[in-house]
Amino acid sequence: MLGLLVLALLGVPSLAQARSPQALEPAAVRAEHRIEEQAESTVSICYNYGCVREEEVRFRAATLTRLVARFADAQTAEEERAVLGEALGRLYRVAAIQTPIAADRGGNLLDDGANGRMDCIDHSTSSTRLLRLLEARGALRFHRVLEPVRRTRFIFQHFSAAIEELSCAERSVRVAPEPAPGEVSTEALAHGPCAEAGLIIEDAGGADAASPGARYVVDSWFVDNGEPAVVLPLAEWLNGEGPNVQ
């Protein structure tokens, strides 16, 4: 007992502490992780058409932490896409406090000439940056962020941010929230197929709801500033689907 007390006073870790994963991880690495989690982030937002103007927008760490936490309830790729559309709208609302993009309206006609208006180039560029911010924070467990995509109809072109569903194996290595009691951890996912790990891969009707490699657009150009972005299958979007705005 006296020996343990002496070791503690000298700052020598106990046997239990030395064997713990936290003790084995370098202190500098742990400190770096804490700094990354607490640090605010900045993203450059485009506006006034064609990225003519760009401004850095700061997102507080607390804001990002709350936003990322909303993704924890998503148990399927479909649920994650729904949260993603809402999250993108929230990020644009924050950006509207620091830039004039509060004037932005769905399409191009309703905000024509307004300072802060955004066309599809502004939106696709800015949305991709915001999606990558969420991805870097570990929010996305079912999707990866892609480069912007383009559709052409007659002489008109339209751009949008895009995402792609991950395969089961890819999902297993994504950073996931701590599991609730009775749920399976990320480590367990890495050692078996998703079906055995408890991931929801079928809908109520039994149809396969997971579509690894399936691509979707996350199009914020269709809506007013701060509203949830429209998420559509890429194939439908390429075929002209989406809200009827101009």
Q: What is the mean pLDDT of the chain?
A: 78
Q: Indicate if the pLDDT at residue 122 is higher than 70.
A: yes
Report the alpha-carbon distance of residue 201 to residue 210 in Å, rounded. 5
Provide the CA 80 distance to its chain's centre, in angstroms.
9
Answer yes or no: is 30 within a domain. Answer: no
Q: Indicate if the pLDDT at residue 201 is higher than 50.
A: no
Q: What is the pLDDT of residues 11-22, one digit of tens each?
A: 444 434 444 444
CA dihedral 240, 165, 201, 177 (to 10 degrees): -130
Q: What is the pLDDT of residue 5?
A: 43
Answer yes or no: is 24 within a domain. Answer: no
Closest CA to 50 of 148, 145, 117, 130: 117
Report the alpha-carbon distance of residue 8 to residue 124 in Å, rounded. 56
Closest CA to 66 of 45, 47, 46, 86: 86
* Three-state secondary-structure class, residue 144: strand
- Contact predicate 116/110, CB 8 Å: no
Answer yes or no: is 120 within a domain. Answer: yes
Answer yes or no: is 199 within a domain. Answer: yes
Q: Token pair of 217, please? A: 């657009």
Q: Indicate if the pLDDT at residue 243 is higher than 90.
A: no
Answer yes or no: is 130 within a domain. Answer: yes
What secondary structure does DSSP assign to 35-102, as a single string?
HHHH--EEEEEEESSTT-EEEEEEE-HHHHHHHHHGGGG--SHHHHHHHHHHHHHHHHHHHHHHSGGG
Q: What is the CA radius of gyration of the chain?
A: 22
Q: What is the DSSP letter of 208?
A: B
- Contact predicate 108/119, CB 8 Å: yes
Report field, pTM of the whole predicted structure over 0.85: no
Answer yes or no: is 56 within a domain. Answer: yes
Answer yes or no: is 155 within a domain. Answer: yes
Q: What is the pLDDT of residue 197?
A: 39
Q: Say what percent of the chain tops pLDDT 90.
A: 57
Provide the CA 28 distance to its chain's centre, in angstroms.
27
Provide the CA 198 distance to its chain's centre, in angstroms.
22
Q: Which residue range(s) make up the domain with 124?
A: 40-238
Q: What is the pLDDT of residues 62-121, one digit of tens each?
A: 999 999 999 999 999 999 999 999 999 999 999 999 999 999 999 888 788 899 999 999
* CA torsion through residues 75, 32, 56, 165, sign: negative
Answer yes or no: is 28 within a domain. Answer: no
Structural domain count, the chain: 1
